[in-house]
Amino acid sequence: MNKEKIRISKEEIKQYLPHRDPFLFVDEITEVVPGINAVGLKKFSGNENFFEGHFPNLPILPGVILVEMCAQVSAFILLTVDKFKSAFGFLVGIDDFKFIKKVNPGDTVKVVANMLNVKFGIAKSYVEAFVDDNLVAKGIIAVK
């Protein structure tokens, strides 16, 4: 298994994930060590349509979008391992996920995902999401 850090651009991300705009929530994978960890970024401009209704006059990023971003970033831990390159990388579980602070339009979210284990082709990762250096969410994500 390659332990070297890899950087993955938005165009290259599409070679790994089946997601496309408007449901691709990763702009860049700043680093991934296959089978170990991944770090990804997404800038939420405020022009995304979900901000219109969540909530009028007080737009914040929906928690489900933040969970999906965490799943997409954590999928790279699995999908960059040769043995799992043909995996789909979709969300199959969420455990003990906590939302700590709100994410506002214009914020850039950084997700740090660390592999916990892989069993039966399902990878569990502990994820933390940050805006600037402030923790906004954390929990365990499972992808397959």
Residues 110-119: tens digit of each pLDDT: 999 999 999 9
Q: What integer is the mean pLDDT of 55-82? A: 96
The tens digit of pLDDT for each residue in 27-58 reads 999 999 999 999 999 999 999 999 999 999 99
Domain limits for position 70? 6-143
Q: Please give the mean pLDDT across all residues of the chain.
A: 95
Q: Looking at the predicted structure, is the pLDDT value of residue 87 above 70?
A: yes
Residues above pLDDT 90, as percent of the chain:
89
Q: What Cα–Cα distance (Å) separates residue 44 from each residue in 16, 73, 86, 124, 132?
A: 21, 15, 29, 26, 13
Q: Which positions are catalytic?
A: 54
Does any domain span residue 1?
no
Q: Looking at the predicted structure, is the pLDDT value of residue 26 above 80?
A: yes
Residues whose CB falls within 8 Å of the CB of residue 26, separated by 6 or more in sequence, listed in order = 10, 13, 17, 40, 41, 42, 69, 72, 73
Q: What pLDDT score was predicted for residue 3?
A: 75
Q: What pLDDT score was predicted for residue 1?
A: 52
Does any domain span residue 42?
yes
- Which CATH number covers residue 39? 3.10.129.10
Number of domains the chain contains: 1
Residues paired with 33 in a beta bridge: 37
Does any domain span residue 46?
yes
**Rounded CA separation 120/77 (Å):** 15
| Model confidence, pTM | 0.95
For residue 23, what are its two tokens?
């449901």
- Length of the chain, in residues: 144
Q: Looking at the predicted structure, is the pLDDT value of residue 2 above 80?
A: no
Single out the residue of 98, 93, 96 nearest to residue 124, CA to CA. Answer: 93
For residue 117, what are its two tokens?
């284990």
Does any domain span residue 96?
yes
